[in-house]
Amino acid sequence: MRFVFKTGYDQDIDVAKHGGQRFWYSALLLGLVIAPWTLPDYWLAQLTFVLIYGIVGLGLMLLAGFTGLFSIGHAAFLGVGAYTQAVLASMGWAFPFSLAAAAALSALVGAIVGLPALRVKGIYLGIATLAFGFIVEEVLARWESVTGGNSGMMVASIDIFGWRADTSESFYFVCLVCAVLCTLIVLNLLRSPTGRAFVAIRDSEISAQSMGIHLARYKTMSFMISAALAGVGGALYAHQIRFLSPEQFGIIQSIDLLLMVVIGGLGSIHGAFLGAAFLITMPQFIALGKDLLPPAIGQAAGLQGVVYGVVLIAFVLFEPLGLYGRWLKIRTWFQLFPFYRRGLFKRQKAFQKSDRLK
Amino acid sequence: MSDTLLSARNLTVRFGGVLAVNDVSFDVQRGEVFTLIGPNGAGKTTVFNLISRIYTPTSGSIAFEGQPLGDVAPHRIAALGVARTFQNIELFEHATVLHNLLIGRHIHRRSGIWSEIVFAPSVRRAERETRRKVEEVIEFLDLQHYRDTMVAGLPYGVRKVVELARALATEPKLLLLDEPSSGLNVEETGDMAFWIQDIRDDLGITVLMVEHDMSLVSKVSDRVLAMNQGEMLALGTPAEVQAHQGVIEAYLGTADDSTSLRRAAP
């Protein structure tokens, strides 16, 4: 068991709390940097997807996990980012500019969607964002002069001032840099007043307000940052997939994204990436398991949906903190061995909360 | 030094047909502990919610340091120097005690969003300063032991103190305490009394509180306002108010009331 002896406030402010974290995250980064030389092509492509979905997950995590606002239309922001990137890339914009434009346009759309969030919450906000998701999907399908409609649109490869990231290795590095930068941005926000205001709004709006937090401003800001991250993810997604069509950004995608942050563990940065890894690798495991099942079940059309549903229910029931919560428990078990108690992570019964302002 | 910090004039609040507060006026002097007492439903918490602008009065006005609060947005109240606690503790449950107090420093933030995204050196300096201020409050209220504990796992008595600490972290001029001793045991109530006195005497913060525990009220209050069914009953020192005939009747009822409670013979 590690005891961190604190001698300065900077130890609480720093991203890495102690040497152990510094070591392990450096090792992780090193592993990711050498991945193109150590992993087979197929798994490198999967890892690229994990990074892309991780960025989108970061955005949704900030919104759902840290601000407490649930969006069931998040694929719409992904779509806005992806199509913006595709259109600008075909017009010959350099990647950094088109990426910034994709993020900015998504953020703008996020600000508009954030407006109902100031008035409604919980399931009603879910319905509002769901409706928004359908609107965007429909716009992408009907605005044929720009998006190519249902027949879809091809995406050019990345062009960074003449350097083309057209191999899977070079594109992987672009994604890695974006993912690391996005993670740092979110970590920085969470350790400064803005991130604390988000958490305050999540836990109690009335006392956030009485602490001087402008609810409308911070909720809108959360929606904008979340949408911008989804836009960045969408831009990378466009280059990875290379062919965009509106149905990729429908309700199923939105549910997948929500599933990702819930299974990863709401309220943790790790959760976004663990959830992304789960979402990307699960279909492979299902494909592997198919052959072991009787053909009537194994070849059934809705097998993947059923497995996702069962896994989601299992997590909500048995591990509300998600994959990251499970990892924390395993780590604590080893740290405390042999003194781990079963009830160590049990939630205390919440005390009665005031129902004012609700 | 006896100038008026907060003055309420002819406050009236109606919720539909219910008259929650009816023509209440009082002045809170700088540096005193002013207590609102009264039976349940007397309108004490409503008065609190009027001051923190959660409700808007149907008629009447409130002025803080001479500035009328009528048009001030609810989130601006804290910046003016008014902090509050809630009757049924409203802490940020899934955050540590330290984190809760840091949120209490929100009105003193100096960094903008863009400098926070890159965590510029100015943000780090501001964070260090915030930490130092929070540590003063932690020391004042003896919360060192709970600094890194999640609020969700704290016992009720400690939560009360954390909520008080969070209000103090905003460095208020006026502290609104909604039933600071409810749910506390005798020993914790004693601590709370000392702290309220220290807050007034050492930190120089004016306290306006709602309280039911009369021993705490008479120990710390300079003046007491008794309310019943939205109306003012009596205003004066704790001893004067306790001796007031109307107050005794409001709490204990009159001789006529008790005869009417008797069941009619079958």
Mean pLDDT of the region A327-354: 72
Count of CA atoms in the C-beta half-sphere (13 A) of A17: 8
Locate the chain B residue with the closest alpha carbon to A10: B128
CB–CB contact B91 A204 (8 Å): yes
From first CA to last CA, the distance across chain B in angstroms is: 65
CB–CB contact B103 A354 (8 Å): no
User: Given the structure tokens 């996005």, which residue do they identify?
Assistant: A182
Residue count (chain B): 266
Cα–Cα distances (Å) from A190 to A69, B118, B120, B248, in that order, read 16, 12, 14, 53
ipTM for the predicted complex: 0.88
Which residues of chain A have a CB within 8 Å of the CB of B107?
A: 211-212
Count of CA atoms in the C-beta half-sphere (13 A) of A164: 6
Q: Is residue A118 part of a domain?
A: yes
Share of chain A above pLDDT 90, in %: 58
Q: What is the pLDDT of residue B259?
A: 59
Arithmetic mean of pLDDT over chain A: 89
Share of chain B above pLDDT 70, in %: 95
Q: Where are the domains of chain B?
A: 91-171
Indicate if the alpha-carbon torsion angle A146, A150, A156, A161 is positive or negative. Answer: positive
Closest CA to A322 of A270, A251, A285: A270
**Euclidean distance between CA atoms B18 and A138, whole angstroms:** 49
Count of CA atoms in the C-beta half-sphere (13 A) of A24: 5
**Euclidean distance between CA atoms B195 and B202, whole angstroms:** 10
Cα torsion A109, A112, A114, A116 to 10°: value is -140
Locate the chain A residue with the closest alpha carbon to B109: A193
CB–CB contact B88 A189 (8 Å): no
Closest CA to B101 of B80, B131, B71: B131
Q: Is residue A63 part of a domain?
A: yes
Domain enclosing residue A74, as ranges: 28-250
**Euclidean distance between CA atoms B91 and A135, whole angstroms:** 38
CB B233 within 8 A of CB B38: yes
Task: Tally Cβ neighbours within 10 Å of residue A35.
Answer: 17
DSSP annotation of B235 reads E
Q: What is the pLDDT of residue A25?
A: 94
Residues whose CB falls within 8 Å of the CB of residue A227, separated by 6 or more in sequence, listed in order:
A59, A77, A80, A106, A107, A109, A110, A111, A113
Which residues of chain A have a CB within 8 Å of the CB of B117?
A: 185, 188-189
Which residues of chain B have a CB within 8 Å of the CB of A267?
A: 94
| Tens digit of each residue's pLDDT (9 = 90 or more) over A244-298 | 999 999 999 999 999 999 999 998 999 999 999 999 998 888 888 888 888 877 7
| Tens digit of each residue's pLDDT (9 = 90 or more) over B29-81 | 999 999 999 888 888 999 999 999 988 999 999 999 989 998 899 999 999 99
Cα–Cα distances (Å) from A2 to A6, A24, A324, A336, B77, in that order, read 12, 14, 19, 10, 43
Q: Please confirm whether the linkage preceding B266 is cis (ω < 30° from 0).
A: no
| Tens digit of each residue's pLDDT (9 = 90 or more) over B245-263 | 888 888 877 766 655 555 6
Q: Is residue A346 part of a domain?
A: no
Rounded to 5°, angle at Cα B140 from B139 and B143: 55
Strand positions, DSSP E, chain B: 4-15, 18-29, 33-37, 59-64, 67-68, 82-84, 174-178, 206-210, 223-228, 231-236
User: Given the structure tokens 């005794």, which residue do they identify?
Assistant: B248
The token pair that represents A17 in the structure block: 């709390």
Q: Is residue A66 part of a domain?
A: yes
Residue count (chain A): 358
Task: Tally Cβ neighbours within 10 Å of residue A175.
Answer: 23
Tally of domains in chain A: 1
